[in-house]
Amino acid sequence: MRIGMILDREFPPDHRVEKEAKSLIKNGHEVHLFCFNHGHLKSEETINGIKVHRFFMSRQLFKKLYALINVFPLYNMFWKRRLMGQIKKYNIQALHVHDLPLSHIAWQLSKKFGIPLVLDMHEDYADWIEQTPHYNTLVGRIVKKLSRWKSYEKKHLQLADYVIGVSPVLIDKMVKQYRVSRDKIIFVPNTPEPDFMTPDKIDEDIKKQLTGRFNVIYVGGISYLRGLQKVIPHMREVEKRIPEIQFIIVGDGTYLPELKKLTKELNLDHIVYFAGWETVERIAAYIKLSHVGIYPSLRYKGVDDKVPTKVFQYWALGKPVIAPDFILPRTMIAKHQSGFTIDFEKEGEKLVDLVEKLYRDEKLRETMGENGRRAIEEEWNWEKTVQPLIDLYDHLSKKREEKH
C-alpha cells in the first residue's frame, strides 16, 4: 500500500515518525513523507527507505502562519495545494497525518480522493497547545479563543477513519469525552527499537564529556512546560553533596536560550551541559554513560495521560528515573519499581535528596535500572507495540484489494 504521511515539521529528526515508517516499509508498504523544508534540506530524498518530499517555507513565515492556523486559512491553503499534487503524482492510497494541526486538510483530501485517513495523536494536543506561553499573552489569549482547539480536536477525532493513541489514559479520554468509537482507535506507545538498547559505539567526544562525572540526563524537546528551569537552580545544592555532578541536557527547542541564560546567571556552566539535538544513536550513547534519567515536566491539563519516549529510553539502557508525580508515570514507575516520582514545582529539596540517594546507593540504582530494562524487554519495546499499526495497514491494504 502507498501511504502518504503528513508532518508539519522538518524531517529528520522525528524518531516516532521514522520508526513507524520503517516498520511499515519492512512489512511491504511504500511510505511517502510530506514535510517542511525551512531552507537547508533537499526537496526530495530517500531516508531509510522513506520517500521524503519537502515543501519550502521560511521559518519566520511558518511561525506567523502556524500561530493562526485555525483563524486564517493561509497555512492550510499552502498545504492543501501541495498535497493535492503529490497525492495524484504518487497515487497515494492512504493518508496518515501526524498530530492534530493538519487533520482538517488531511480529512478534506481523504474524502476528495476516496482514501482512508489515519490520525496519529502523539499527545493530547489541544490541552498542550492551549497552555503554552505564546497562547497566554494578551494577544495569544485572543488567538486561543478564536482557534477553538478543543472543538477542532473533537471534530477531527470523530471524522478520521482510524485514530492512533499513545497512552491508555488518552484513549479513554477520546472515548468518554469526545465520543470517539473505541473500535477505530489503536494503541501505539512510543517505545524504543531493539537496537537502541545496545549502542554499537560511543563517540570519543561523548566519552570525554561524561567520563568521571555523576551524570543526570534529560533527553527531549525544550520548552517552558518541560520544566527544566525548575531543575537547574537545584544543581548548586547537588554539587555541594556530589562534587562530580553533571546535568546533561540533550535536545533543542524554543526555550533553550532562556535555559542557557539561567545557567549563566547562576554560574552553573561547569555543571549544566547543553548537548543540542542529537541522533538516536548518540542519544543512546549519552544515556548509557549517564546514571539517572530525569523527566521534570510541569503540570498542565492533559499531561497525566502520557509516559514520554524519554522514560522508555532511560529504562531501555538500565537507568533509574525521576519523573513527575502524575497518574500514568506514577503508576508505571511503581509497577516496575524503576525510579521515583516527585512534584518538580514544589519539591526541589526532595529532588536533591533523591539524586544524592541514587549516587550513594549504587545497588539501588542498579536494581531500579535493571527493573526498567526488564520492562522494556518484556513489554514496552517497539517490536511488540508497533504490531497494531502493522495490522491496521495490512487490513486497509486487504480491504482495498477486495474493493478493486
pTM of the model: 0.81
Shared domain for 123 and 226, answered yes or no, is: no
Domains held by the chain: number: 2
Q: Using CA atoms, how far apart are residues 157 and 164, in angstroms rounded to an integer?
A: 10
pLDDT value at residue 63:
77
Shared domain for 164 and 260, answered yes or no, is: no
Shared domain for 207 and 300, answered yes or no, is: yes
Shared domain for 352 and 219, answered yes or no, is: yes
Q: Is the distance from CB of 285 to CB of 248 less than 8 angstroms?
A: no
Shared domain for 266 and 173, answered yes or no, is: no
The CATH number given to whatever domain includes residue 360 is 3.40.50.2000
> 117: which strand partners?
95
Distances (CA, A) of 309 to 134, 151, 221: 25, 28, 11
Shared domain for 16 and 61, answered yes or no, is: yes
pLDDT in tens, the chain (404 residues): 999 999 988 998 888 999 999 999 999 999 999 999 988 899 999 999 999 999 998 888 877 776 666 666 788 889 999 999 999 999 999 999 998 888 999 999 999 999 999 999 887 665 666 566 666 676 666 655 655 767 788 888 999 999 999 888 788 888 988 899 999 999 999 898 888 888 878 999 999 999 999 999 999 989 888 899 999 999 999 999 999 999 999 999 889 999 999 999 999 999 999 999 898 889 999 999 999 999 998 886 656 556 778 899 999 999 999 999 988 888 889 999 999 999 999 999 999 999 999 999 999 999 999 999 999 999 999 999 999 999 999 999 998 888 76
pLDDT value at residue 339:
96
Shared domain for 265 and 348, answered yes or no, is: yes
Shared domain for 176 and 210, answered yes or no, is: no
Domain of residue 89 covers 2-188+386-403
Shared domain for 98 and 180, answered yes or no, is: yes
Q: What is the DSSP string of 2-57?
A: EEEEEEEEESS--HHHHHHHHHHHHTT-EEEEEEEE-SSS-SEEEETTEEEEEEE-
Shared domain for 68 and 184, answered yes or no, is: yes
| Grid cell in block for residue 166 | 499513545
Shared domain for 247 and 337, answered yes or no, is: yes
